[in-house]
């Protein structure tokens, strides 16, 4: 389904608010059908690929010629590497015009590293450098999950001029450490006379999955109203959800770091880098597909703010939004957001603990998707060789 007129209003309105939309899906069929070009025409500013979407597209015939030509010469891991490089090159080429038009602010194609390298810093660095070199497009952005063992990797990659999407940022501690890694990386690159205005990074916050983890995995006692919200029957209590409250508070920290002059050491360091053309490390709100349209719409309407990114699926983009509901909501009801976080903290919910669970959960999901992708490559190879 192509974006409809209401979706175009959403995209245009978010652009007016200084917010970018990145699409949470990519496969070759979108290029062939013209759907990707339609999204570009409608002001989608970036794309996030994943192993599941590539695996689904492999089931179709678009890749058959590749397999027939290479299956006898390459094993499954080598074919995987070839496919990923070609797909990311194709996507990066499509988004390069956006990248140029926005002076490197947008137009990025985001790619996960294979899950087996993520637990080891040296393996992550080796794989990230290989992908950056082989794909060869400056609008590639590599996804690195935040964790104690990945912070130096993030800093090192930024210091080498490689764009990074830091994923699974949940707590204030996460965000502070990620900001430190970004600034230190920029400073290292600048010390080598690197063109820091060509580097970009985002810190991705899994807003809706944070709420799901608190309400479901941690078995927090649910009120009748919370159950109704989860089922999409009521939306009046959604403003009490921790994910949205946390996003509002993180956005205030972002503004303090990058906009408010000398209010903190980060801001002072940033001013020096900004004078050399550096881009802020934007916050990216990730809204997973929810059970109902009302729930998704409330997340979108609650996460609007200048200088941020919103990552939405094609289904979410195709929903209708009232124009008068699109406003700079991230700066509204800050006291309510603060009290929501205080209340959850007093009830024994540790966001650091939730962040750890989300990292494990995402790692398991990514591992399963990656293994399924390799299985499809193996099956396709057997059929066509």
Q: What are 58's two structure tokens?
A: 């492999």
Q: What is the pLDDT of residues 21-55, one digit of tens each?
A: 999 988 888 888 899 999 999 889 999 998 988 88
pTM for the complete prediction? 0.90
Q: What is the pLDDT of residues 255-272, one digit of tens each?
A: 988 876 555 678 889 999
Q: Which CATH architecture has domain 5-384?
A: Alpha-Beta Barrel (3.20)
Is the per-residue pLDDT at 184 higher than 90? yes
Q: What's the pLDDT at 1?
A: 40
Q: What is the pLDDT of residues 296-325, one digit of tens each?
A: 888 888 999 999 999 998 888 887 666 666
Residues forming a β-bridge with 110: 48, 141
Q: What is the pLDDT of residues 334-362, one digit of tens each?
A: 998 988 888 877 766 677 778 888 888 88
Q: What's the pLDDT at 291?
A: 62
Domain limits of the chain? 5-384
Is the per-residue pLDDT at 144 higher than 90? yes
Is the per-residue pLDDT at 219 higher than 60? no
Question: Which of 92, 281, 262, 271 minimizes the C-alpha distance to 181?
Answer: 281
Q: What's the pLDDT at 76?
A: 86
Terminal alpha carbon distance of the chain = 34
Q: What is the pLDDT of residues 278-300, one digit of tens each?
A: 999 999 999 987 667 788 888 88
How sure is the predictor about 132, in pLDDT bands with cuts at 50, 70 and 90? very high
**Range name among 41-50, 111-120, 141-150, 259-268 with the lowest pLDDT average:** 259-268
Q: What's the pLDDT at 235?
A: 39
Mean pLDDT of the chain: 85
């Amino acid at each position: 389904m192509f974006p409809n007129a209401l979706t175009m209003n959403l995209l245009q309105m978010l652009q007016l608010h200084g917010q970018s939309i990145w699409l949470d899906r990519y496969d070759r069929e979108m290029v062939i059908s013209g759907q990707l070009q339609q999204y570009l025409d409608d002001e989608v500013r970036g794309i996030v690929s994943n192993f599941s979407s590539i695996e689904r597209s492999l089931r179709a015939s678009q890749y058959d010629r590749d397999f027939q030509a290479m299956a006898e010469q390459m094993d499954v891991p080598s074919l995987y590497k070839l496919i990923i490089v070609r797909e990311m090159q194709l996507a990066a080429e499509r988004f390069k015009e956006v990248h140029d038009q926005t002076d490197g602010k947008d137009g990025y194609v985001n790619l996960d590293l294979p899950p087996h390298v993520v637990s080891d810093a040296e393996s992550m660095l080796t794989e990230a450098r290989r992908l950056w070199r082989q794909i060869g497009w400056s609008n590639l952005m590599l996804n690195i999950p935040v964790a104690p063992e990945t912070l130096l990797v993030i800093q090192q990659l930024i210091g080498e001029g490689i764009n990074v999407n830091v994923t699974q940022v949940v707590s204030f501690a996460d965000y502070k450490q990620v900001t430190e890694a970004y600034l230190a990386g920029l400073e290292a690159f600048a010390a080598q006379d690197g063109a820091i205005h060509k580097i970009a990074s985002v810190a991705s916050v899994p807003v809706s999955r944070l709420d799901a983890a608190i309400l479901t995995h941690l078995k927090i006692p649910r009120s009748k109203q919370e159950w109704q919200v989860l089922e999409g029957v009521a939306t009046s209590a959604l403003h009490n959800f921790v994910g949205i409250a946390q996003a509002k508070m993180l956005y205030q920290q972002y503004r303090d770091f990058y906009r408010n002059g000398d209010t903190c050491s980060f801001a002072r360091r940033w001013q020096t880098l900004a004078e050399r053309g550096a881009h802020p490390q934007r916050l990216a709100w990730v809204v997973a597909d929810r059970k109902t349209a009302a729930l998704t719409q409330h997340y979108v309407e609650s996460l609007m703010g200048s200088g941020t990114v919103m990552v939405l699926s094609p289904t979410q983009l195709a929903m209708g939004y009232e124009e008068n509901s699109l406003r700079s909501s991230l700066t509204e009801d800050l006291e309510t957001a603060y009290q929501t976080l205080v209340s959850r903290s007093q009830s024994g919910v540790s966001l650091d603990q939730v962040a750890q669970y989300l990292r494990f959960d995402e790692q398991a999901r990514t591992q399963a998707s990656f293994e399924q992708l390799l299985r499809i490559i193996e099956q396709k190879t057997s059929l066509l060789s």
